[in-house]
Amino acid sequence: MPPVIHILLATYNGARHLPQQWASLEAQQGVDVVLHIADDGSSDETVAVLRRLESARSGAVRAVHWMHAPPRRDAGKSFMLLLAQALRDAPEGQWFAYCDQDDIWLPGKLAAAVDALGPRTASGPVLYGGRTLAVDEEDREQGLSPLFVQAPCFRNAIVQNIMGGNTMVMNRAAAELVAPSAGAQVVTHDWFTYQIVAGGGGHVHYDPRPFLRYRQHGNNVIGSNLGWWALWNRFVRMLQGEFRNWNEVNGAVLAQRTGSLTPGNAEVLDSFVRARTAATPWSRLAWLRRSGAFRQPAAQQLVLQVACALRRV
């Protein structure tokens, strides 16, 4: 029997691109798909389009479940709630994946994740993610996302997310690490997923191969890291304090979950908190070095150090 992947699809006014995304889900090879959908109060034809696609399913999608909840939760909260509900509704479920409404998945996307994680899944939480190929509204290629070469770990996750949620696949043990924070305020569901799985001692696999066409347009919540302008924009936002605000949110959630972290990663978190709050630039930088927190590539690490000295982390 092929592995069953429980896909979590959060939608909002996505009627235009959903048929193409749905077709790419149906075309997944070597797996069966159970789709869990949460709509965030769409005012267009999103729900009607999904109902039509559901009634005509003919490929990898074997079943569809809807989550009914008050609208306007925001995408991150929808994904977290979907994950928690999918765990409850599918006690036999072993694989879970986030899904954006307007991307295009290549046919081997899910199978590649299961192949990469399968040998490790019996040993505890495992998480897969990787690169994407950015495309514009009309599916014209814009370029690959950055290639990160340092191994994923909590010391990286605490200050940087290197994998978009639309690339992530996790086993049940990883999903059970994420789900207890479904009601919490997080910056993004994917960054928190990377943090808590890596922090809990799980194995995180980063795939340098892109299996997803990531559509870029004005409605993207975060967008890609593609190009120098995107990097400069993030640098400016970091110096303006946005990164510090994000770390406040992330830190508050992780502080509630220290029992889920390994002892070593709990120490990393403590040192990073001290790096954010110490009195002088020199002491902040000393605590940052002690934490081992790092961003990729080297230029981003320099930005992190400058921001730490300026108390912008």
Question: Which residues of the chain carry a pLDDT beneath 50?
Answer: 219-223
> Could you tell me the two tokens for 2?
């092929």
Residue ending a domain, choose from 185, 215, 245: 215
Both 184 and 235 in one domain: the answer is no
> In what side-by-side order are the strands of the sheet with 141-144?
104-105, 212-215, 133-135, 141-144
Spatial neighbors of 149 by CB under 8 A, at least 6 apart, are 296, 297
DSSP 280: S
Specify whether 168 is located in the same domain as 240: no
Task: Give residue 220's pLDDT.
Answer: 47
238 in any annotated domain: yes
Q: Is 222 within the bounds of a domain?
A: no
9 and 126 co-located in one domain: yes
pLDDT in tens, 112-161: 999 999 889 888 999 999 999 999 988 899 999 999 999 999 999 999 99
Q: Which two tokens stand for residue 236?
A: 């400016």
Pair (84, 176) in one structural domain: yes
Number of H helices, E strands in the chain: 12, 11
Cis peptide before 297 (omega within 30 of 0): yes
pLDDT at residue 119, rounded to an integer: 87
Residues 154 and 252 in one domain: no
Asked which of 181, 215, 249 is the last residue of a domain, the reply is 215
Q: Which of 215, 235, 250 is the last residue of a domain?
A: 215
> Is there a single domain that holds both residue 202 and residue 236?
no
CATH code, domain with 28: 3.90.550.10
Whether 23 and 151 map to the same domain: the answer is: yes
Q: Is residue 84 part of a domain?
A: yes
Same domain for 205 and 102, yes or no, is yes
Do 204 and 233 lie in a common domain? no
Alpha carbon 11 to its chain's center? 16
188 and 232: one domain? no
Distances (CA, A) of 137 to 101, 167, 214, 218, 233: 13, 19, 10, 9, 21
For residue 45, tell me if it sits in a domain: yes
Same domain for 44 and 161? yes
- Domain membership flag for residue 220: no
Residues 144 and 52 grouped into a single domain: yes
Q: Which domain holds residue 262?
A: 227-309
Number of domains in the chain: 2
Does residue 183 contact residue 149 with C-beta atoms inside 8 Å?
Answer: no
**212 vs 171: CA distance, rounded Å:** 20
Note the pLDDT tens digit of each residue in 12-54.
Answer: 999 999 999 999 999 999 999 999 999 988 999 999 999 999 9
Per-residue model confidence (pLDDT) at position 221: 43
